Structures are given as structure tokens and as C-alpha cells.
């Protein structure tokens, strides 16, 4: 997710653009830039946070009154100055800022190179500048040139574009939010209300496939049917802080709710009809690995435990999962035909980083990371990004489901190479997951009501079998991280080897009871053992039968899916349970005590 801001009016706009970016910095902060018509096109970009761009502006401040600006969260291409936006077509004197992912950028890039365009960056976004330039060469109306270019684009975009000699900003939206600010003789474009709030409370929210032309005299909007349309002007009523949270009380809640979109982002452009398209995997086509080792910490480690199951179940590749901190201090046995996978949201976790540095001395390494250009991403031989966008909540939620989605992509691709026949069914099941997550989220109030019953307890047990065991571990971690409740995850069958000693009416037990008949029957008998000792049971289930109703005090139903994809659904109620119990206990889920978002110390 990135931040876009633009202005057209009578005021010199450089400092105004900079302030707008500052308001949007929470959307992405690895590099920033702006383009101003002064009246020639003036571009200033900087790696790092917006303060770095501000330093550059101190020495060269363009004086124009039309400009666009961007703060970046890298999806393709390292965070550096050349990959920062705006991107330009120097031949046609065009600048563009973009938020989203251009899925067909490879093909567009090759086509434009053949037409003589020279690319400066490694990003997908840069193709937009050259594609618009390609059409603008023969089309004098800049609006139409942008329209023609976007008709060739597949993927998500929110863009703003300017052209030397044209007193206008052309903006367009498809899948990434874009808002117009309606001022008095001045107009704004922004990724969200945050940056507009200081100037005007009158906004227009563009719809997908809308293209708009902003001039000093006003604006026109064309819809997907190429018809000029009227969009209602709305009044902003939120305060700035609320806007950054998009109306949520905490970033953790926002990020839980974002998961239908972020899971889709993780597989967007990768789930080909005949194969999974993962650039990183191509690096290993000549590396016949026979084993996999996953290294990670915390939530990422639990994603790794799910990865073990996925690789062994789908591709029959023996897989071991190690806490990175344990692996690096042991004298590990690594074979040269073992693929080592590091999983990390931040890409900066010290233990995982050092474990990868150790592993790469013996064999090939692969990263599943969220932060583009992070140290772990650069240390591994290849990898894939989960495209979850900035995860600001300390408790990892959307990154976890993004990691599991990427592990699933890897597992079904490895399976496809030996069992191509059932690839399409596995592909279809994943495509259906975002809507199923939405369905679970629609029952949030029911889950919140359950949280109210158990928020006063100081202990909890999370139990699951098979793939539901790492999900139980993750659910327990979420609760203990943010609520002050001591929660423990355990294999359901192991309960009678110890934890059952703790069961009484003061011990809430969360059972994850989805899965095949064998698992289900076994979990029901574990529930009966808890019930017999007056334990309180919350069951996550995909069907509601009479026996479950008799045993569980509360049932949270999740849609059916395959065993391999069930963690993507079963974890959602656990995230919401943890979040609401923490809030009910007066905690700030975004600032859990003693915790940091990235553990960059050992």
C-alpha cells in the first residue's frame, strides 16, 4: 500500500505536497518523491522516510502550483531513489505516481522496450509512465492518452499523472482507493482523507474504473462506460487519527479486517491457470532439493509449522521447522540438497537473519517476507513477497495469513510438477478464500459477545489436531501477546498428558474442531474430557451437529474449505477473540507491553 497526493490551484505546492505525504506516511515509508510543473517538469525523490525528501527540498524547492507526490511501500523493486515514485516518460515529459500492483507489467515492459522506451527502475509502476507516453506521442489530449494506456493494464491501480504544458492532473482508480478534495479554486487527489482533511472537508470517492481530469476551474469524471458522471460530494466527519485507521479503533483491527484483500494480494498475478507463477522459484529449477527446512520466529514460526504440513501433504517433501534462535546455536546438520526457507514479516528479525546466514554456507535459501528490500529478503538467494502492505499492529495478523498463502502457493506448485491433474482444484479453492474470510468477519459481533464472557479469565488453553495444532499455537500467541491472559496452545491429544490437570470452570478451552471425520471424532472426545471437568469450551467448527452443541458452550462456525486451506479461515475468529478480549481488558492491542514489531536484537 502506498500514499498518493496531488494538488492543482494557485498556491506554490511543493511544501503542501510534502505535508500531504507526511499525513500518508503510515501507508508506506521506504521512499518518497514529488513532481511539480514549474512550469517545466521538476522531479525530486529520496530513499527513506519523508524527512529525507524534505531535506532535499530545502536546497531545491520547485515553485509550481500543479504537482503530484508519493510515499512508497515497495512491492516490486528495492526501496531506493531510482525505484521511488514519480516515474517519468522523459520523452513526453510525463510523470506518474501509482498505488497498486500492475500484474502484466512484464509484458508491457518488453513491448515498450521494443518501442524504444528506456526503463530506469525495477518497479512495475514505471510501465505506466512509458505506456501513457507511448499513447501521448500521437494523442494530444492527455486525458485520452491516459485512458488508452489504462485500457492495456491488468491489475490494481490508483494513479495521478501530469504532463509538461498541460494545466491539469489526470487521476484514475481501479482497486486502490483514490479520493478528490474539492477546495475553493483548488483541487486535491489523495489515497485517503488523511492528507485532504487540512484543506477541505468536501470529498469525492472515486469508483473503480473512474478517470478524472482536475483543472483549476473544476473537474470532470468519466466512468468505466466512458460516460461523464456526477459523483456526490461528501463531507469528511472523521478526525485525522481516525482516518489513518480508516475508522478502526486500532491498526490491529484494521489489519484483521483487511485480510480478504491481503490474502488476494498474496496470490494476485501468481495463480496461473496452468501453474503457479513465482519468480523466486525459478532460481531453483536446476536445484533438485529433496528436503525443506523452515526457519522463523514467533507467528512466522507457526506459519512454518503449517508449511511443513502443506509441503509434506501436497508434495511429499520431508520438511523440518526450526525456531531460528535454536537452529543457529545448535550445530545443525544441513544437507546440500536441502532448501532452507526463512519466513519473516519484517525481514529484520535478528535470529532469523543469523540463522539464514548460517544456512547459506551449506545450501540454497529462500525468503517469504513482507517488507520489500529488507535484510532477510536480500540475504536469501531468492524469495517471494507476501504483499500484505505495512503491518503496523505489533501482533501479526494479515502477515500470518499472507505467509500461509505463499506457503500454499509453493506447495501446490511443487505438487503440480508431479501431479498436474489436481492443480486446478487446489487453485479454485484458494481463489474462494477471500470471500470466505469476509463471511467470518461478518459475524464479528457474535465473536465479540463471546469475548465478553471470557475476558475476565487470566488463563486459556487452545487445542487442535493436525493443521489445527499450529493454528492453536497462533491463537494462543495472539491472546497472550495483547491481553495479559496466559494462553497456551497444545496438540489436542496431548491434553491428557498434562494440561488436563488445569481444567476446571475457570479454564476456557478453545478447540479448533474442523477437519476430516477422524480428526473431528477425536476432538469431540477431547471436548468430552474437558466437559467432564467443568471446563468452558469455545469451538471453532465448520459444521454444527448435535454432539458439538451439547459439548461446546460457544460455537463459532467457519465456512468449509480443504484441510490445507483451513488455517486461513480458522485463525480469523482467534484473531478477533484476542483483539476484543484485549480491548475489554483495557489494553491497547497496538502497543502490547514489552513487545516490539521487529525483534532486531538477539
Phi, psi of 37 (to 5 degrees): -85, 110
- Binding segment for ligand AGP among 88-96, 297-305, 452-460, 554-562 (CB under 6 A)? 297-305
Q: Is residue 539 near ligand AGP by the rule CB under 6 A?
A: no
Tell me: does residue 479 bind ligand AGP (CB under 6 A). Answer: no
2 close to 74: Cβ distance less than 8 angstroms: no
Residue with cell 531535506: 55
List 56, 381, 438, 597, catalytic entry: 597
Q: Which of 43, 57, 144, 598 binds ligand AGP (CB under 6 A)?
A: 598
Residue placing its CB nearer to ligand AGP in the complex, 32 or 574: 574
Q: Which three cell numbers stand for residue 530?
A: 474437558
Q: Does 92 participate in binding ligand AGP (rule CB under 6 A)? A: no
Residues binding ligand AGP: what is the number (CB under 6 A)? Answer: 15
Whether 597 is catalytic: yes
Check if the beta carbon of residue 564 is closer than 8 Å to that of residue 411. Answer: yes
The position carrying cell 483549476 is 216
Taking the complex as a whole, the smallest distance from the CB of residue 52 to ligand AGP amounts, in Å, to: 24
What is the nearest approach in angstroms of ligand AGP to the Cβ of residue 371? 8
**Interface pick for ligand AGP out of 394, 412, 479, 513 (rule CB under 6 A):** 394
Number of DSSP helices (H) and strands (E) in the chain, helices first: 21, 25
Per CB under 6 A, 599 contacts ligand AGP: yes
475 backbone dihedrals φ, ψ, rounded to 5°: -65, -40
297 binds ligand AGP (CB under 6 A): yes
Residues 331-350 that bind ligand AGP (CB under 6 A): 344-346, 349
Query: Among all chains, which residue has been given the C-alpha cell 485500457?
Result: 151
Instruction: Pick the catalytic residue from 2, 89, 297, 564.
Output: 2
Among 88, 191, 396, 514, binds ligand AGP (CB under 6 A): 396
Comparison of 374 and 561: residue with beta carbon closer to ligand AGP = 374
Q: Binder to ligand AGP among 71, 190, 197, 300 (CB under 6 A)?
A: 300
Length of the chain counted residue by residue? 602
3-state secondary structure of 115: coil
Q: Which is nearer to ligand AGP, 322 or 481 (CB)?
A: 481
380 binds ligand AGP, rule: CB under 6 A: no
Q: Compute the least distance from the CB of residue 85 to ligand AGP, in Å.
A: 26
Query: 539: part of which helix (H) or strand (E)?
Result: strand 536-541
Helices assigned H by DSSP within 348-397: 350-359, 375-379
Please say which residue, 346 or 561, places its beta carbon nearer to ligand AGP.
Answer: 346
Residue closer to ligand AGP by CB (options 334, 599) is: 599
Question: Shortest CA distance to 50 belongs to which of 31, 23, 67?
Answer: 31
Residue of this chain nearest to ligand AGP (CB atom): 298
Going by the DSSP 8-state scheme, the letter that residue 560 receives in this structure is -
* Angle, alpha carbons 578-583-587 (nearest 5°): 100
Q: How far is the CB of 190 from ligand AGP (least distance, A)?
A: 29
Q: Distance (Å, rounded) from C-alpha 331 to C-alpha 328?
A: 7
CB of residue 349 to ligand AGP, shortest distance in Å: 3
Task: Give the list of residues 6+ apart from residue 503 with CB closer than 8 angstroms, or none.
Answer: 461, 509, 529, 530, 533, 534, 535
Residue 352 as a binder of ligand AGP (CB under 6 A): the answer is yes
Contact 61, 67 (CB under 8 A): no
On whether the CB atoms of residues 88 and 42 are closer than 8 A, the answer is no
Instruction: Choose between 53 and 394: whose C-beta lies nearer to ligand AGP.
Output: 394
Smallest gap from residue 566 Cβ to ligand AGP (A): 20
Could you say which DSSP state residue 175 is in?
B
- CB-CB contact of 398 with 388 (8 Å): yes
The answer to the question of residue 440 lying near ligand AGP (CB under 6 A) is no
For ligand AGP, the closer of residues 211 and 369 by Cβ is 369
Smallest separation, CB 299 to ligand AGP (Å): 3
Q: Provide the grid cell at 602.
A: 538477539
- Minimum Å gap between C-beta 171 and ligand AGP is 34
By CB under 6 A, tell whether 298 contacts ligand AGP: yes
Residue with cell 495463480: 271
* Signed CA dihedral, 452, 454, 457, 459: sign only: negative
* Residues tagged active-site: 2, 597
Point out which residues bind ligand AGP (CB under 6 A): 297-300, 344-346, 349, 352, 394-396, 481, 598-599
Amino acid at each position: 500500500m502506498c500514499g498518493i497526493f496531488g494538488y492543482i490551484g494557485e498556491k506554490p505546492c511543493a511544501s503542501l505536497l510534502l505535508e500531504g505525504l507526511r499525513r500518508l506516511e503510515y501507508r508506506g515509508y521506504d521512499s518518497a518523491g514529488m513532481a511539480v510543473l514549474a512550469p517545466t517538469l521538476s522531479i525530486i525523490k529520496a530513499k527513506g522516510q519523508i524527512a529525507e525528501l524534505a531535506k532535499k527540498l530545502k536546497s531545491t524547492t520547485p515553485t509550481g502550483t500543479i504537482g503530484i507526490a508519493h510515499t512508497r511501500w515497495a512491492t516490486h523493486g528495492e526501496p531506493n531513489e531510482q525505484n521511488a515514485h514519480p516515474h517519468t516518460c522523459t520523452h513526453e515529459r510525463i510523470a506518474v505516481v501509482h498505488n497498486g500492483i500492475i500484474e502484466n507489467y512484464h509484458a508491457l515492459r518488453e513491448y515498450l522496450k521494443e518501442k524504444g522506451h528506456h526503463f530506469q527502475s525495477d518497479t512495475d509502476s514505471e510501465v505506466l509512465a512509458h505506456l501513457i507516453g507511448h499513447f501521448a506521442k500521437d494523442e494530444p489530449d492527455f486525458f485520452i492518452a491516459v485512458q488508452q494506456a489504462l485500457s492495456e493494464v491488468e491489475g490494481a491501480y490508483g494513479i495521478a499523472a501530469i504532463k509538461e504544458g498541460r494545466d491539469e492532473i489526470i487521476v484514475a482508480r481501479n482497486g486502490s482507493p483514490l479520493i478528490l478534495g474539492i477546495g475553493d479554486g483548488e483541487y486535491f487527489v489523495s489515497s485517503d482523507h488523511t492528507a485532504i482533511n487540512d484543506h477541505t472537508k468536501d470529498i469525492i470517492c472515486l469508483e473503480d474504473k473512474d478517470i478524472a481530469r482536475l483543472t483549476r476551474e473544476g473537474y470532470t469524471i468519466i466512468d468505466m462506460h466512458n460516460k461523464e458522471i456526477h459523483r456526490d460530494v461528501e463531507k469528511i466527519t472523521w478526525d485525522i487519527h481516525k482516518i489513518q485507521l480508516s475508522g478502526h479503533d486500532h491498526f490491529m483491527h484494521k489489519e484483521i479486517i483487511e485480510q480478504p484483500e491481503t490474502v488476494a494480494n498474496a496470490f494476485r498475478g501468481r495463480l496461473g491457470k496452468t501453474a503457479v507463477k513465482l519468480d523466486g522459484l525459478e532460481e531453483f529449477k536446476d536445484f533438485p532439493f529433496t528436503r525443506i527446512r523452515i526457519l522463523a520466529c514467533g507467528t512466522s514460526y507457526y506459519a512454518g509449522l503449517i508449511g511443513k504440513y502443506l509441503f509434506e501433504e501436497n508434495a511429499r517433501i520431508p520438511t523440518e521447522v526450526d525456531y531460528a534462535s535454536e537452529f543457529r546455536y545448535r550445530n545443525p546438520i544441513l544437507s546440500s540438497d536441502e532448501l532452507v526457507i526463512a519466513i519473516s514479516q519484517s525481514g529484520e528479525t535478528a535470529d532469523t537473519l543469523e540463522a539464514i546466514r548460517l544456512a547459506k554456507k551449506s545450501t540454497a535459501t529462500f525468503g517469504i517476507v513482507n517488507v520489500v528490500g529488507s535484510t532477510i529478503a536480500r540475504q536469501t538467494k531468492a524469495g517471494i513477497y507476501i504483499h500484505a502492505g505495512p503491518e503496523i499492529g505489533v501482533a501479526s495478523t494479515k502477515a500470518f495469513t499472507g505467509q500461509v498463502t505463499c506457503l500454499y502457493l509453493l506447495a501446490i506448485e511443487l505438487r503440480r510438477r508431479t501431479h498436474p491433474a489436481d492443480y486446478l482444484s487446489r487453485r479454485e479453492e484458494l481463489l474462494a478464500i477471500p470471500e470466505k474470510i469476509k463471511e467470518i468477519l461478518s459475524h464479528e459481533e457474535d465473536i465479540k459477545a463471546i469475548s465478553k464472557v471470557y475476558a475476565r479469565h487470566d488463563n486459556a488453553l487452545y487445542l487442535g489436531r493436525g493443521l489445527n495444532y499450529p493454528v492453536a499455537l497462533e491463537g494462543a500467541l495472539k491472546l497472550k501477546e495483547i491481553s495479559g491472559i496466559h494462553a497456551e496452545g497444545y496438540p489436542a491429544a496431548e491434553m491428557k498428558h498434562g494440561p488436563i490437570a488445569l481444567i476446571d470452570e475457570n479454564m476456557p478451552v478453545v478447540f479448533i474442531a474442523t477437519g476430516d471425520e477422524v480428526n473431528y471424532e477425536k476432538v469431540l472426545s477431547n471436548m468430552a474430557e474437558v466437559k467432564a471437568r467443568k471446563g468452558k469450551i469455545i469451538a471453532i467448527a465448520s459444521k454444527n451437529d448435535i454432539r458439538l452443541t451439547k459439548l461446546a458452550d460457544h460455537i463459532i462456525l467457519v465456512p468449509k474449505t480443504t484441510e490445507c486451506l483451513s488455517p486461513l479461515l480458522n485463525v480469523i475468529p482467534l484473531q478477533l477473540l484476542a483483539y476484543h478480549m484485549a480491548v475489554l481488558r483495557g489494553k491497547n492491542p497496538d502497543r502490547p507491553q514489552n513487545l516490539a514489531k521487529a525483534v532486531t536484537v538477539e
